[in-house]
Structure 1
Amino acid sequence: MRYCPFLLLLLFFASCEKEPVSPVDTTPYVLELPPHFPYPDIPEDNELTEARVALGKMLFFEPAMSVDSSITCGACHKQSLAFADDLPISPGVRGRLGFRNSPTLVNLAYLTKVNKDGGVPKLDIQALVPIEDHAEMDLPILHAAERLNADPEYVDAFQRAYGELASPFTITRALGAFQRTLISANSTYDQYLMGEVSLNAAAERGRQLFFSDATNCSSCHGGFNFTENGFFNNGLYETYEDWGRRRVTGLPEDDGVFRVPTLRNIALTAPYMHDGSLPDLQAVLEHYNTGGTTHPNKDNRIQPLHLSTEQMADLEAFLHTLTDTSFLTDQRFKP
């Protein structure tokens, strides 16, 4: 029997055909924002799409992202706590402890430098830090990609989101996409700004104090997100075990300098400060009321306030109006 060379060629190419892949899903993901929130800058190489956000959420709650598959990103960032934790230091794999308190992840879309010391230049690569850190997830990112590419569900999800397999680029971008959707903008205070509710008497007194020259709170915690995203030393210690931003810059003037965090959902994110050393809001207010400790880098705005017990209670009442209860139960953020 003679074989037709053309037929053999067709059979060869047919046998080399790749498995069908899912088309890239470019359906935009639109952030829902109130009028007093600006739309955040979204990187051109990671535009928000439904597929990218869905993939990022899968990865955020994926145990295989840790070396022994024991923890997820969500283990240290719990939705019920505004994506923060209630421990001074959250344990990583095998119970290992790092040295900083887990921050809230709300409104990360507005950050220009990430982490408490600003050491990561953009959100889209921040996930490399916890994934590879020995005290957190302890998994080389290339090993994480290998695990994900061995799972057909993830192969399909990455194809739909980015048109390629899991890689350090696509893993970190997907996580960044999901975290940009964690917008908290429906607190009692937001409803007050939109004329939907009134603040009670104590919270209203606290609001006036917060924005007054007497406390100067809003000079650091200003704007729609209650932070100007600056980096300051707030006089927490005379000597800092954690150098803060000095670890990034190497400059002595950055010793004990940390990012000013957002105050949104602040009543839910205790304990406070970079090391979780202040247990509750009363301790935080007392720290600022006394003016903190002596340190050469302490910001000159940190001065004794001499507030009365009632004024301290009023400030705390105002801070509670920054809690967004709808954010805590939003089904879009659940695994």
Structure 2
Amino acid sequence: MKTDFTGNRRILVAAILLPSIFFLACKKEAIPQLQGRGIMVIPEGFPEMPFPEDNQFSRERWELGKKLFYDPILSVDNSISCASCHKANLAFADDRDFSPGVENRPGVRNAPSLANVGYHPYYLREGNVPTLEMQVPVPVQEENEFAHNMVLIAELLSANAEYQKMATEAYNREVDPFVITRALATFQRSLISGNSRYDKYHFQGDKTVLSESEKRGMQLFFSERAKCGSCHGGFNFTDYSFQNNGLDTVYSDPGRMRLTGLPGDESLFKVPSLRNVEVTAPYMHNGKFQTLMDVVEHYNSGGKNHPNKSSRVQELNLSQQEKIDLAAFLESLTDDEFISNTLFKE
């Protein structure tokens, strides 16, 4: 769910896949998996997906969460759902600078991708929400997003026999805020993306899948010269740190300072994952850049001066071919299977 400033569905596997599908234990028997093209299958090179003790994965919880994710009943005027700002074909991001809320109220931050969101250690761009379950009410109750109330939503859903049945099957309780937040968090944790061409090259050993330009871009990305990997490292291409990348000299968004009140945190934002970045434009917290080449040009320039700009952001003096190679590598992070997976679509 968008949830980026003051806040900002049934496991069904097509019958053609297998006549009967059983849940299997994952690598360390922590999370059930489905055979074939299913959900909660942890990609090579990824750690296991952590689930809270009070919200372990189950088919019923996932089904309920998916249904809620696509249901506009979460908004006060039944006009938008979580999926309105987090579109499956865009890696659960949006293609607008700011996604509008109810009554077309203006958003205040660019909606981030939900791919691999279950691995994040905290949420919102300033990092002030520690769990996905706690993140769910933020956009629901934010005035410029859903402008609704979790208690009222639970009352509305309680009048729906299907929702009542699903809540009982999933959590053995009536529809309430606990059920709503846990189910939505379960669905979001299933949005795991790790089968890009880069993954096939790096984790699966297919050395033919990347072009020469993409390989050069990869080497540059992780080099000491470009230092892209210093912030965008690891399996999820982020270290989850808070950085100012010299986007502007003056910011209207206080960033992490909104949480801490510290001048040194002014306009610092959580480093986003670069997975599926090719399809998640526009870029930056305010949607300032429309293309990957715009982003590359920004970092090549060293950014603008700001007291809190990261020392990692330096002028790079890349050649035109190097810039093309870097953008090409970023495009290799697109997971076509993930963004076309009908299990995650309405």
Q: 2:120 aligns with which of 111, 117, 137?
A: 111
Distance 2:74 2:246 in 1: 37
- CA deviation after TM superposition for structure 1 residue 34, in Å: 2.2
Q: Report whether the alignment pairs 1:195 with 2:205.
A: yes
Distance 2:166 2:116 in 1: 25
Normalising by structure 1, we get a TM-score of 0.91
Give the residue type in structure 2 aligned to 1:198. V
Deviations 1:147-170 (A, max 9, x none): 110100000011111111122211
Q: Report whether the alignment pairs 1:229 with 2:246.
A: no
Distance 1:142 1:55 in 2: 17
Contact (CA 8 Å) 2:42, 2:49: kept in 1 or not? no
Gaps of 5+ in 1: 1-26
| Structure 1 residues 64-75: aligned runs within 5 Å | 64-75=73-84
Distance 2:295 2:340 in 1: 27
Distance 2:160 2:60 in 1: 17
| Structure 1 residues 169-180: aligned runs within 5 Å | 169-180=178-189
Q: Report whether the alignment pairs 1:140 with 2:154.
A: no
Q: 2:316 aligns with which of 305, 323, 327?
A: 305
| Structure 1 residues 134-283: aligned runs within 5 Å | 134-193=143-202, 194-196=204-206, 197-283=208-294
Deviations 1:182-209 (A, max 9, x none): 0001101111121234311100100110
Q: Report whether the alignment pairs 1:126 with 2:126.
A: no
Q: Report whether the alignment pairs 1:100 with 2:109.
A: yes
- CA deviation after TM superposition for structure 1 residue 307, in Å: 0.5
Normalising by structure 2, we get a TM-score of 0.88
| Structure 1 residues 74-89: aligned runs within 5 Å | 74-89=83-98
Q: Report whether the alignment pairs 1:326 with 2:319.
A: no
Distance 1:292 1:124 in 2: 36
Cα distance, 1:54–1:29 mapped onto 2, change above 3 Å? farther
Deviations 1:261-301 (A, max 9, x none): 00000000000000111111111111100111111111111
**Match of residue 16 from structure 1:** none
Contact (CA 8 Å) 2:231, 2:238: kept in 1 or not? yes
- CA deviation after TM superposition for structure 1 residue 212, in Å: 0.4
Q: Say which SS state the counterpart of residue 36 (structure 1) adopts.
A: coil
Structure in which a larger fraction of residues adopt helix: 1
Distance 2:111 2:268 in 1: 17
Distance 1:162 1:52 in 2: 7
- CA deviation after TM superposition for structure 1 residue 115, in Å: 1.1
Q: 1:42 aligns with which of 51, 55, 67?
A: 51
Give the residue type in structure 2 aligned to 1:36. G
Distance 1:213 1:124 in 2: 38
Distance 2:315 2:201 in 1: 30
Larger radius of gyration: 1
Give the residue type in structure 1 aligned to 2:134. I
Deviations 1:91-127 (A, max 9, x none): 1111001210000000011111111111211111111
- CA deviation after TM superposition for structure 1 residue 33, in Å: 1.5
Q: Say which SS state the counterpart of residue 161 (structure 1) adopts.
A: helix
For this pair of structures, how many residues does the alignment match? 309
- CA deviation after TM superposition for structure 1 residue 42, in Å: 1.2
- CA deviation after TM superposition for structure 1 residue 177, in Å: 0.4
Identity %: 49
- CA deviation after TM superposition for structure 1 residue 35, in Å: 2.4
Gaps of 5+ in 2: 1-22, 24-30, 34-39
- CA deviation after TM superposition for structure 1 residue 331, in Å: 1.7
Contact (CA 8 Å) 2:197, 2:335: kept in 1 or not? yes
- CA deviation after TM superposition for structure 1 residue 334, in Å: 1.1
